[in-house]
């Protein structure tokens, strides 16, 4: 029953997004984002805690509200984009996207050298993975959890696979990623969420100690693969820019822990740099610093 309701909702929005002009839909996105921000006391609190930590309490309430609403707009745009692209061909997906520094990836491809893509929940991250897979004609394999709804998980999986994007389960991800790399595919990893202390590497993020997934670092060191950071952003939700950054070179010394710390900190640094450039594009609703700042998130 619940799965059928999800599917009906999906089809309703698919029809709505097809008939409503993009300009009007963007206005609706802002209205929905304002409503979500206004009604969710819990997420407003998380957003404010994160912004206070990241910017050392320098932002005004008005500035934090603006960033918080934009964070919801990005989430809605990411969700609506999945539905909209169900009816698109590959070239349609990337016709409104500019690729900055595309020669970085092209150089690796010319040398037939594999790499690992690292990114975060920034801008329309679903569009990022699909656009890179299409633009550079590669199979990109992400890491994540299945949706609770089997029907919607199937819909999302099929949507991604149409554009050369596959997924492996977060549980047992290292083993799955090793298999994927051996098959010559490209692993893409979202690196910006908090992770349990026992499975993580500590990093300095916005000047504050927190945890960070070491998955990309472990794979980089094991296979001698460089990490290429890439992020997507927009100013108007019509035109998008995929920014590709200089690679983080693989390291393999006799000190494994030091190698992983250095590689992982480099990922945190580029993520911070990107977020600082356009704070409103990041997913501020996540408890990014919760492993060492848990009490701050509990105060409602």
Q: What pLDDT digit, counting tens, does each position of 64-75 carry?
A: 999 999 999 999
Q: What integer pLDDT is reported at residue 11 of this predicted model?
A: 86
Task: Report pLDDT for 199.
Answer: 85
DSSP letter for each residue of the chain = -HHHHHHHHHHHHHHHHHHS-HHHHHHHHHHHHHHHHHH-HHHHHHHHHHHHHHTTT-S-HHHHHHHHHHHHHHHHHHHHHHHHGGG--HHHHHTTEEEETTHHHHHHHHTT--EEEEE-SBSSHHHHHHHHHHHTT--EEEEEPPPSSHHHHHHHHHHHHTTTEEEEESTTHHHHHHHHHHTT-EEEEE--S---GGG-EEEEETTEEEEE--HHHHHHHHHT-EEEEEEEEESSSSSEEEEE---B-----S-HHHHHHHHHHHHHHHHHHHHHH-GGGB-TTS-TTHHHHHHHHH--
As a whole number of angstroms, the longest Cα–Cα distance in the chain is: 59
Q: pLDDT tens for residues 282-294? A: 999 999 999 999 9
- Please tell me the predicted confidence (pLDDT) of residue 60: 97
pLDDT beneath 50, residues of the chain: none
> Which residue do the tokens 């990107």 mark?
274
CA–CA dist 240, 242 (Å, integer)? 7
pLDDT digits (tens, 9 = 90+) for 16-49: 888 999 999 999 999 999 999 999 999 999 999 9
| Amino acid 151: pLDDT | 83
pTM exceeds 0.85, yes or no: yes
pLDDT for res 225: 98
């Amino acid at each position: 029953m619940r799965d059928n309701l999800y599917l009906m909702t999906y089809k309703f929005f698919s029809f709505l997004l097809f008939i409503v002009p993009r300009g009007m839909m963007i206005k609706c996105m802002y209205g929905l984002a304002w409503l979500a921000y206004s009604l969710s006391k819990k997420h407003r609190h998380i957003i404010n805690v994160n912004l206070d930590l990241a910017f050392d309490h320098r932002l005004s309430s008005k500035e934090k509200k603006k960033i918080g609403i934009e964070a919801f707009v990005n989430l809605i745009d990411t969700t609506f984009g999945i539905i909209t692209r169900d009816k698109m061909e590959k070239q349609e997906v990337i016709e409104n996207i500019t690729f900055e520094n595309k020669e970085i990836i092209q150089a690796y491809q010319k040398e037939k050298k594999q790499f690992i893509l690292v990114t975060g929940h920034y801008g329309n991250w679903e569009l990022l993975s699909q656009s890179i897979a299409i633009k550079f004609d590669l199979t990109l394999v992400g890491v994540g959890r299945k949706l609770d709804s089997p029907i919607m998980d199937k819909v999302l999986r099929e949507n991604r696979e149409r554009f050369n994007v596959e997924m492996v389960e977060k549980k047992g991800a290292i083993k799955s990623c090793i298999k994927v790399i051996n098959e010559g595919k490209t692993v893409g990893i979202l690196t910006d969420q908090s992770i349990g202390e026992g499975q993580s590497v500590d990093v300095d993020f916005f000047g504050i100690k927190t945890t960070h997934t070491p998955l990309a670092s472990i794979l980089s060191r094991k296979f001698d693969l460089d990490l290429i950071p890439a992020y997507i952003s927009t100013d108007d939700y019509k035109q998008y820019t995929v920014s590709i950054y200089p690679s983080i070179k693989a390291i393999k010394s006799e000190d494994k822990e030091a190698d992983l710390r250095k590689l992982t900190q480099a990922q945190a640094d580029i993520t911070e740099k990107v977020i600082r450039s356009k704070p409103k594009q990041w997913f501020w609703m996540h408890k990014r610093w919760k492993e060492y700042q848990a009490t701050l998130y509990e105060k409602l």
